[in-house]
Structure 1
Amino acid sequence: MKLLHTSDWHLGQSFFTKSRKAEHQAFLAWLLEQVAAHDIDAVIVAGDIFDTGTPPSYAREMYNQFIVAISQLNCTLVVLGGNHDSVSTLNESKQLVACLNTHVVANVVPSAVSTEVTEDTVRSEPTHTQIIELKNRAGDTGAILCAIPFIRPRDVIQSRAGESGLEKRQALGEAIKQHYHQLYQAALAVREEKQLSVPIIATGHLTALGVSQSDSVRDIYIGSLDGFAADGFPPADYIALGHIHRPQMVAKSEHIRYSGSPIPLSFDELKTTKQVLLVEFDQAERVAITPLEVPRFQPMAVIKGDLSSIESQLKAFDANTHENTPQTKSVWLCIEVELQDYLADLPQRIQTLIEGLSVEQTLEQTLEQSLEQSLEQVVEQTVIPSFEVLQLRRTRNTAKQSLTQTARETLAELTPDDVFAKRLELESFEGEVEQLRLGRIKEQFQQILSEVENPEQGA
């Protein structure tokens, strides 16, 4: 049995007003090539197929076209809902795509109302819809899947008046743990009943304790759960996780993995090689986990330094050094400027620098090549990287800046968290009581921010 584990596609993402449509189309085409080249039996997408609960029409179209294309390769597709996904959006085509060998599990459906967390009263979706027998290309059962999407707290536990923050965290963590173990026991029962020698695989869309996150990842259990402990997972043969955009193992466990996002969803993800995971089994035994590197479909870079250093770095920049990236595309830049003094015209200075470099590089390279080559050869071989500055920010000093200086920063340089933090600096929170109040204020802000950015989650 061969599986491909991927997650966090975020189809429809707008990246500093730039569409990721071309990148996502290229990735999906590449993924289909891997399915064919490696004779993949099943592809698991562990959540966040779309970037928002209301994805643009082109994103839905790509999703549907991919389902049709992968079904023609005799490969099973499993789609799990993530915290960015709309349950209704995924479910609207669930019955239809089931005819194309695609399983969609958008959410955990509450089956009972409970005020206490016990093994008998945890609310969960009926097990028959979350236990999936994955077929290999021969049509035989090759694995049993515990298909677990993003678990919304309201789907597995009911809040009680007077609960402390600690009690809420403990209750939610226990409810999620019990949901995993209930499904694992159901999968064991299926395997024993049918006398199958196949692996049991689980999925998830959550934050495990101790993982490395990136700027584009938001907390999903605001004020309730910092992270899910690795020892809370059942002893499945492989656990395919989503939500964290950097590929990594959990708690040094070879079989508990985040595949990461296939394209960089923030500039700080450029340092990480993007990948999907090829997981191979020989009957019930896991024999190999192989990362398949995803090509970079859009040139991107982070440039840091003072104005002089930035100019030097841009002049030395060669788009051809970015392996597997189209040479005809402009390079998306994040420029972080180190300044001693505030410059009101910094954006204009950077723009003038970028425009001047494009003309200067074109002339220099053309003159150098024309000495040894014909004009036709020069035109054919000259590749000049053009730049687009998507993010421009000033490097923040470790020392606390004065309010008069930080007030000059533009909103384009700040995140919502930055703005809120600056507002909090105007208040005084001295003493234990005030510190507790500050904690509640921050928690409420994160809850509001989460609901604004992911309206489906708060609905």
Structure 2
Amino acid sequence: MRILHTSDWHLGQSFFGKSRRAEHQAFLDWLIEIIAKQQIDLLIVAGDIFDTGTPPSYARTLYNQFIVALQHVNCRLVIVAGNHDSVATLNESESLLACLNTHVVAAASDNLDKQVFCVDDRTGKAGAVICAVPFLRPRDMVLSEAGQSEQQKQQRLGDAIATHYQTLFEQAQTLAAQYSPALPIIMTGHLTTVGASTSDSVRDIYIGSLDAFNAHHFPAADYIALGHIHRMQKVAKTEHIRYSGSPIPLSFDELKQQKQLMLVEFDAAQTVISEIEIPTFQPLYYIKGDLASIKTELDNIDISGEQTIWLSVQVQAQDYLTDLQQRIIQLIDDRPIEVLQLTRQRNSQTKAIEQQHKETLAELDVQQVFDRRLASEHFEGEPEQQRLGRLQQLFSQVVNDVQSKEAE
């Protein structure tokens, strides 16, 4: 059984006023080619198929045309809703798409058969058991109770989600055991897990009720395909719990990570997980610095392609320039570059960090942020050096305490 895991397509997204229609069309065409070339049995989209609950008509067209095209390469499809998706929008075509080898799960259901089912491979033979878990809305999982603290609300929702996963997993085990050998069990999810690295385009979910789900509460499925986080990553240092990330950059701070699909191969002996790199369909660049360094970086951008380059510029300047936008336009001249985002330096501390290291906070881990902050202070003399040592010791203790709680 060969499975592709992807998520967070966000069809219909408006990117600083620009449509992503051409990018998404190019990605979907490329994806069909990959599925045919790799002989993929099942494609899983782990949430946020659309960017909003009321996607534009062209986004619905892309969605429907892709499902039709998928029939020509003999591949099954499982789609679960994300927090951006409308349950009603996905449900309106659920029955019709079921006739096209497509399972759509828009919400949790009391009928577990809607979320736990067997999927055949390309030959028509049973290949895997799917536990299709969409974004679990708090109102569907727990009833609000007066007088509860924020911590109690988080605990109740976390417990309810863990119970839901465990209930589905037990039914999946029963179904998988009916085959010889037993079928692999694949679960999905659309949520934030403890320790996941987010990006600017990720909108927080479970606000006011659950910050992040502890990955150790996932059942022992053979593979867990997650969505919501746009950076491809492993979860809780495991191989089999993965975020696939979005197929195209949904914000400029996602440019440093190569976009990928997860390829999961099951056979009688082992499970093999690998990545397939996704090409760039729309050139995006992010540059920062003073006007002189921005000019240098602009001169180094490859403009030989046919597409207009979308650019984000962050200007570091001591003086407040009233004609900043006009100056940037003059630097671009007649090159095929369009500035979609123009920002100034944020605050003094971030400015000091970025001027020295040319990094954004999104690129740094916790320890690096702390070290950069210490570097902006002066610790001269023995008393100050002792103070520095105490600060470093206290910081390490706090980080260790937090990591220990996350591991529980």
Q: Aligned match of 1:354 in 328, 332, 347?
A: 332
1:151 is paired with a residue of what secondary structure? coil
The structure that has the greater radius of gyration is: 1
- 1-structure distance, mates of 2:344, 2:202: 22
2:245 corresponding residue in structure 1:
260
Q: Does the residue aligned with 2:240 lie in a helix, a strand or coil?
A: strand
Cα offset for 1:193? 3.5
How big is each residue's C-alpha offset from its partner over 1:18-67, in whole Å with a ceiling of 9 and x where there is no partner? 00000000000011011100100000000000000010000000000000
Q: Which amino acid aligns with 1:220?
A: I
Map 1:101-112 onto structure 2 (within 5 A): 101-109=101-109
Work out the CA distance in 1 between the residues paired with 2:226 and 2:59.
22
**Partner secondary structure for residue 230 of structure 2:** coil
- Shift in Å, 1:319: 3.5
Identity %: 60
Stretch of structure 1 that moved more, 302-311 or 254-263: 302-311
Query: In the TM superposition, what are the counterparts of 1:268-307 in structure 2 within 5 Å?
Result: 268-283=253-268, 285-307=269-291
Letter in 2 for 1:51: D
Give the alignment's TM-score, normalised by structure 2.
0.84
Query: What is the match of residue 443 of structure 1?
Result: none
Q: Distance in 1 between matches of 2:271 and 2:115?
A: 25
Q: Which amino acid is 2:301 matched to?
A: F
**What is the distance in 2 between the residues matched to 1:153 and 1:147?**
17
Q: How does 1:123-272 map to 2 (within 5 A)?
A: 125-272=110-257
- 1:340 aligned to which of 299, 318, 321: 318
Listed one character per residue, the Cα deviations across residues 322-374 of structure 1 (whole Å, up to 9, x for unaligned) are xxxxx11111000000010111111111112212xx3xxxxxxxxxxxxxxxx
Contact 1:237–1:286 (Cα < 8 Å) also in 2: no
Number of the residue aligned with 1:41: 41
State the 1:210 CA deviation.
0.2
Q: CA RMSD in A?
A: 1.3
Query: Which residue identity does 2:343 align to in structure 1?
Result: R
Q: Deviations over 1:175-233 (max 9, x none)?
A: 00000000000001112244552100100000000010000001110011111111110
What 5-or-longer segments of structure 1 have no aligned partner? 110-124, 321-326, 359-384, 402-459
- Contact 2:197–2:231 (8 Å) recurs in 1: yes
Give the SS at the match of 1:353: helix
3-state SS, counterpart of residue 304 of structure 1 = strand
Write the deviation string for residues 231-265 of structure 1: whole angstroms up to 9, x where unpaired. Answer: 11000000000000000000110000000000000
C-alpha separation in 2, matches of 1:72 and 1:91: 24
Hey, what's the Cα distance between the residues in 2 that align with 1:287 and 1:252?
Answer: 17
Mapped to 1, the partners of 2:118 and 2:350 lie a distance apart of 57
Q: Distance in 1 between matches of 2:129 and 2:348?
A: 51
Q: Distance in 1 between matches of 2:67 and 2:261?
A: 18
Confirm or deny: 8 A CA contact 1:146 1:183 kept in the other structure. yes
The CA deviation at 1:398 is: 3.1
Which amino acid in the other structure matches residue 251 of structure 2? Answer: S
Residue 121 (structure 1) aligns with:
none
Report the Cα distance in structure 1 between the residues aligned to 2:67 and 2:95, rounded to whole angstroms: 13
Mapping of 1:347-386 within 5 angstroms? 347-355=325-333, 358=334, 386=336
Distance 1:172 1:274 in 2: 32
Looking at structure 2, the residues matched to 45 and 334 of structure 1 have their Cα atoms a distance apart, in angstroms, of: 29
Question: 1:267 is aligned with what amino acid?
Answer: F
Shift of the 196–130 alpha-carbon distance from structure 1 to 2, 3 Å rule, reads farther
CA deviation map 1:391-432 (0-9, x unaligned): 00012233499xxxxxxxxxxxxxxxxxxxxxxxxxxxxxxx
| AA of the residue aligned to 2:336 | S
**1:72 maps to which residue?**
72
- The code of the aligned residue for 2:47 comes to G
Structure 2 residue 85 is the aligned partner of structure 1 residue 85: yes
TM-score (ref. length: structure 1) = 0.75
Describe the shift of the 1:286–1:161 C-alpha distance in structure 2 as closer, same or farther (beyond 3 A).
farther
Aligned residues: 351
| d(CA) in 2 for partners of 1:390, 1:347 | 11
Report Cα offsets for 1:67-91 as digits up to 9, x if no partner. Answer: 0010221110001000000111111
- The question of 1:389 aligning with 2:339 is answered yes
Asked if the contact 1:299–1:319 (Cα under 8 Å) also holds between the matched residues in 2, the reply is: no
